Amino acid sequence: MSAPVPYTVVAPNQRQTSEYLAVAKLINKRQGVDSLAFQSIGVAMQNPVETSRVVDSIMGVLNAGQQFDSVAISLGQRGEKSWISANQYQAQETINPEFVELFNALHKAEVGKLSTIKLTSGTTVIYKVVEKKQPVTLYDVAIVSNQLKFSNETYNTEYNKFSQYVSSCKNDSDMVKKADAPGYTVLTHENLLSTDHNIGRVDPRTGEPMIPNTRSIVKWAFSEATEGSISKVYDENASNGMLVAALLLKVHPQGYLDLASVEGQVAEQLNRDRKAKMLIDQLGDAKTPEQALAKGADTLSRQHINFAVPVSIREFSEPALGGAIAATEVGKSSAHPFKGNNGVYVFTVTDRRTMEGVSFDRRAQENQLVNNYVQLLQKNSYRPYTDVSDVLVQKAKVQDNRYKF
């Protein structure tokens, strides 16, 4: 099969799970890289003149040899190395024009060279590409999609067929066995919580539920259903071409889940603990990176560790490591190897500094934490509330009835 050429148009196509018919046209193809790592600082002042002045000042400091992440942190930004892949770019349903601008600029940039780009929003980004991976071909594709809508007659026919299927099922085995002929899909949702807003799995590409608008089924499960009962047909997603019914397989009594329900998570944690113990035994009495290196460990250095920017090792957050470092004096090493989220660690603290012009204000920090949490609670989601509700249920004996509303 030959590679597509610019301005090729493909035939209309519809995915089985999509409500849209799409036509695609290849506009351009060019060489890029599979993934790249970069550092960036964003500058947005009250007017273009002030923005330009600040950008020139920062560029001057960077060109004079200051470390990129140090300058970023002094400006209240992270400045750490971030990775972006072609897959991240291509998998997005819609793409922000500014993201396209930055993505294209990063792919054209030379490794190690400081550059700037002024985005359409007025923000100027100072960036430096620090690493590029395997070359790949990137495609620019224009897609025209048209929503497919069904008639009332079609809806009534499909609703009646689905209702007959639901009424003919007596248990979960019936549901699975009888779903093949009409082409229905049976999904399992284990350990449903009253704080869950939807049932069914989450689409890994978008992070959105594949069956939205099913809060009414959650309410049914917690207020009406008993083990083995089957719900009525819910048509809240009829406009998306979905009718939904549910069967309640099991009710967990109040308290801890039984082992069978969390077997996978427990097994994973036990495996991590076993691996950690093996590595700790392998390191023995090693307390410093040099001693650990002699016993087969990897070593690396981290700068500018603080509580605002958690320690990240190979893209895994290690809060225990940050806490241990904070409690260790300069020139001292860890007392013994200890387990983190994704490895076993020893360390030596080589330096500790206070940022110039920054002083600790307890009241200001407390207010900032409160404001951050209030913003989190204001998001349109049930999940952010779970930390608060868990404390209220466990400590204050408050009954959680939100699933009823």
CA distance 102 to 104: 6
Q: What's the pLDDT at 30?
A: 83
Closest to 133 in 3D by CA, of 86, 64, 175:
86
Give the count of alpha carbons within 13 A of 398, CB side only.
11
Angle between helices 152-168 and 172-179 (to 10 degrees): 130
Mean pLDDT score of the chain: 83
Q: Read off the pLDDT of each residue in 306-330 and give the average, rounded to a whole number.
A: 81
Q: Read off the pLDDT of each residue in 211-236 and give the average, rounded to a whole number.
A: 89
With 0-12 CB in 10 A as exposed, 13-18 as middle and 19+ as buried, what is 89? middle
CA distance 233 to 167: 10
pLDDT of residue 280 exceeding 80: yes
Q: What's the pLDDT at 3?
A: 45
Q: What's the pLDDT at 202?
A: 66
Q: What single letter denotes the amino acid at residue 339?
A: K
Q: What does the angle CA 147 – CA 153 – CA 159 come to, to the nearest 5 degrees?
A: 90
Structure confidence by residue, pLDDT tens digits, 333-388: 999 998 988 889 999 999 888 766 667 788 888 888 777 766 665 554 445 555 66
CA distance 201 to 258: 22
Element (H, E) at 314: none
Segment among 105-114, 258-267, 311-320 with least mean pLDDT: 311-320
CA distance 158 to 243: 9
CA-to-CA separations, 219 to 115, 213, 380, 399, 403, in angstroms, rounded: 54, 12, 18, 15, 5
CA distance 124 to 51: 7
Strand partners, 147: 20
Segment among 24-33, 271-280, 362-371, 378-387 with least mean pLDDT: 378-387
Q: What's the pLDDT at 176?
A: 93
Q: Provide the whole-model pTM.
A: 0.48
Helices (H) and strands (E) in the chain, counts: 12, 10
CATH 3.10.50.40 at 35-132, yes or no: yes
- The first and second tokens of residue 262, run together, are 């969390």
| DSSP secondary structure letters along 119-130 | -TTS-EEEEEEE
Q: What's the pLDDT at 2?
A: 38
Helix (H, G, I), strand (E, B), or coil: what is residue 313? strand
Segment among 7-21, 75-89, 380-394 with least mean pLDDT: 7-21
What are the boundaries of each domain within the chain?
Answer: 35-132, 152-240, 263-345, 362-404
Closest to 214 in 3D by CA, of 181, 249, 176, 240:
240
Q: What's the pLDDT at 346?
A: 92
Q: Read off the pLDDT of each residue in 25-32 and give the average, rounded to a whole number.
A: 86
pLDDT of residue 1 exceeding 50: no
Q: How confident is the model at residue 169 (pLDDT cuts 50, 70, 90)?
A: very high
Q: What's the pLDDT at 284?
A: 92
* Residue 127 · residue 106 · CB < 8 Å: yes
Q: Read off the pLDDT of each residue in 68-84 and give the average, rounded to a whole number.
A: 89
Higher pLDDT pick, 342 / 112: 112
Rg (CA), the chain: 28
Q: Read off the pLDDT of each residue in 219-223 and give the average, rounded to a whole number.
A: 90
Q: What's the pLDDT at 308?
A: 65
Helix (H, G, I), strand (E, B), or coil: what is residue 56? helix
- The first and second tokens of residue 272, run together, are 């991590």
Q: Read off the pLDDT of each residue in 213-223 and give the average, rounded to a whole number.
A: 88
